[in-house]
Amino acid sequence: MTESSLDPAAAPPAQARPGSGWRRFAADWASDQTSFKGVSWGKAMMWVFLLSDTFVFGCFLVAYMTARMSTTVPWPNPSEVFALEIGGTEVPLILIAIMTFVLISSSGTMALAVHYGYLRDRRKAGRLMLATALFGACFVGMQAFEWTKLIREGVRPWTNPWGAPQFGSSFFMITGFHGTHVTIGVIFLLVLARKVLRGDYETGRRGFFTSRRGRYEAIEIMGLYWHFVDLVWVFIFAFFYLW
């Protein structure tokens, strides 16, 4: 027997037992050694919130699909309900298309704001956040116009002049809940943009989201929320306006 065979350090590593990889994977997640190591509480809690909110929106959309497929009364045609008269011609879904373009564009400005935030370029980051808030405010304004138009045409949570009464309740519940998320996002964007432009992340000024110097991660956390709101709208647009 040679000396190298007696030395544990010189011996080649033993082959992992079957299933040991999965055991290590489960241990890493359970002990928070790999998946969440180094992740701040703010970012982790935002992911938890977004996961819970996904279930809420998912329940709303499933309830909408169930109501639409189970009703015996004809469902209103979205191309007629959401049409706008422009120059004497009814243009279907034109307002919804503009709203979708505005909200998707806001994801681009938000992503750039996060990028410049980590580069410590507070002027560009702050201005891009203001642009994102402006896009969001425009979206909410157009949604308010859409609500006003439909209410004037007789749509209520319990009835509507085009067919199935469940249409009104589904429309106001789903779009209203999403519009509330956008409104809250706009408010927080304005608050964070003010802090960024004022230099709170450079001086470490005490206050909400700025307890430590250089903590531009707050912009990324805001970006996670905003991208989630945009993604949810894609599903609402597909299921509610195109179906």
Nearest to 209 by CA among 198, 195, 229, 223: 195
H or E, element range at 89: strand 89-92
Report yes or no: 210 and 200 within 8 Å, Cβ to Cβ: yes
The domains of the chain, with CATH numbers, are: 41-241 (1.20.120.80)
165-205 per-position pLDDT tens digit:
889 899 999 999 999 999 999 999 999 999 888 887 777 66
With tokens 């290590």, the residue in question is: 24
Angle at 137 between CA 243 and CA 107, to 5 degrees: 65
At residue 8, the pLDDT reads: 45
The secondary structure of residue 171, as a DSSP letter, is H
Sign of CA dihedral 20, 23, 28, 31: negative
The CA distance from 108 to 88, in Å, is 35
Average pLDDT value over all residues in the chain: 83
Token pair, residue 216, equals 């531009």
Length of the chain: 243
Q: Cα(first)–Cα(last) distance of the chain, in Å?
A: 76
Give the DSSP letter string of 22-71.
Answer: HHHHHHHHHHTSSSSTT--HHHHHHHHHHHHHHHHHHHHHHHHHHHHHH-
Contacts of 143 (CB under 8 A, 6+ apart): 99, 175, 179, 182
- What pLDDT digit, counting tens, does each position of 45-86 carry? 899 999 999 999 999 999 999 988 988 888 888 888 888 888
- H/E stretch holding 92: strand 89-92
Question: pLDDT tens for residues 82-125?
Answer: 888 888 788 888 999 999 999 999 999 999 999 998 888 889 99
11-56 residue pLDDT tens = 444 444 445 667 766 665 555 555 556 667 788 889 999 999 999 9
Say if residues 46 and 221 touch (Cβ distance below 8 Å). Answer: yes
pLDDT at 32: 52
